[in-house]
């Protein structure tokens, strides 16, 4: 589907647009969760991020956590209905020592029956991608974050192509790919359409949708008004239409939507939820998400 057609759809009456996107929906909802395994001290200057060393955000910095802490968090997540669990670390790329420890984490996660291992550890080189695949990592997460044409406005220490290359490596070595965006960083409607098209080219299995939560002391700390709830819904619908085989997933910032609009999205375009807290912001509890799934008569994947 080309840019002009997607833009036409974006501008339809909202109810009509959501009716179209709902045609691509299943009745299933999939829960995932994460552990923030290393926090802060990131060398990159992404303007939205509390973990960047370029900004004085006063978050807690800590090195890679223990294998025992990862497994404890994974087992708690499984008990809450989660079927995918991710190890997430700050930084552009993992250093050698931490990378080998993360491989050990993956070994342990793969021993937990009913839980699928995921990782989000930054930009990969080919050897790292190959090693992750050989260790049996099920899914790798790496967002494009925004449209290629807008990327220079959010980061200068790496570029969109670096992220795209990592996504291609993940697919080359047979892992599933989770690749999404952050909405509300000042991008135009046209650039949201570009994101939909770029994701359609990448063909991720899962598309996490984040809505910017402006963090104090970052360059985007006052970006509360860059997107409203209606335009979030319009974007979600167009993403689903452009990527009918991908699972759109609510992630960070979904609490900027009203409860009514969160439920509307889950009926018409979103089939996955990252439950619990995120990296530096909070979300809903698993109990709240399970209650919503029951209310909407959705089928929880197990």
Contact call for residues 204 and 180 (beta carbons, < 8 A): yes
Q: Which of 124, 206, 208 is nearest to 173 (CA)?
A: 124
pLDDT band of 59, cuts 50, 70, 90: confident
Q: What is the CATH number for 37? A: 3.20.20.70
Residue 280 is predicted with a pLDDT of: 59
- How far is C-alpha 217 from the geometric centre of its chain's CA atoms? 23
Kindly give, in sequence order, each residue whose CB lies less than 8 Å from that of residue 138, ignoring residues fewer than 6 positions away: 84, 110, 116, 117, 118, 175, 176
pLDDT tens figures, 203-243: 999 999 999 999 999 999 999 999 999 999 999 999 999 99
* pTM, entire model: 0.96
Classified as helix, coil or strand, 104 is helix
pLDDT band of 164, cuts 50, 70, 90: very high
Contact call for residues 302 and 277 (beta carbons, < 8 A): no
Q: How many domains does the chain have?
A: 1
Which range of residues forms the domain containing residue 131?
3-300
* CA–CA distance, 150 with 207 (Å, rounded to integer): 19
pLDDT tens figures, 182-201: 999 999 999 999 999 999 99
Count CB atoms within 10 A of the CB of residue 87: 26
Q: Which of 222, 299, 301, 250 is nearest to 48 (CA)?
A: 222
């Amino acid at each position: 589907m080309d840019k002009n057609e997607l833009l036409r759809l974006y501008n339809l009456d909202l109810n009509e647009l959501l009716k179209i996107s709902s045609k691509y929906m299943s009745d299933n909802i999939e829960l995932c969760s994460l552990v923030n395994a290393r926090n802060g001290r990131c060398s990159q200057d992404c303007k939205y991020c509390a973990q960047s060393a370029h900004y004085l955000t006063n978050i807690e910095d800590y090195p890679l956590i223990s294998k025992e802490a990862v497994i404890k968090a994974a087992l708690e997540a499984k008990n809450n209905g989660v079927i995918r669990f991710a190890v997430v670390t700050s930084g552009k790329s993992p250093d050698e020592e931490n990378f080998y420890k993360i491989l050990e984490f993956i070994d342990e996660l793969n021993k937990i029956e009913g839980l699928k291992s995921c990782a989000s550890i930054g930009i990969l080189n080919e050897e790292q991608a190959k090693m992750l695949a050989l260790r049996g990592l099920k899914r790798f997460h790496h967002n494009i974050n925004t449209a290629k044409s807008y990327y220079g406005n959010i980061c200068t220490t790496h570029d969109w192509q670096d992220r795209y290359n990592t996504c291609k490596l993940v697919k080359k070595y047979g892992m599933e790919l989770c690749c999404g965006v952050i909405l509300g960083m000042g991008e135009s409607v046209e650039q949201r359409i570009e994101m939909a098209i770029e994701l359609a080219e990448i063909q991720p299995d899962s598309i996490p949708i984040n809505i910017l939560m402006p963090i104090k002391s970052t360059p985007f700390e006052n970006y509360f008004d860059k997107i409203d709830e209606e335009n979030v819904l319009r974007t979600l619908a167009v993403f689903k239409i452009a990527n009918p085989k991908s699972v759109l997933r609510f992630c960070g910032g979904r609490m900027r939507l009203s409860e009514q609009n969160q439920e509307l999205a889950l009926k018409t375009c979103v089939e996955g939820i990252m439950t619990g807290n995120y990296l530096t912001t909070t979300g809903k509890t698993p109990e709240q998400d399970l209650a919503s799934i029951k209310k909407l008569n959705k089928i929880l994947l197990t």
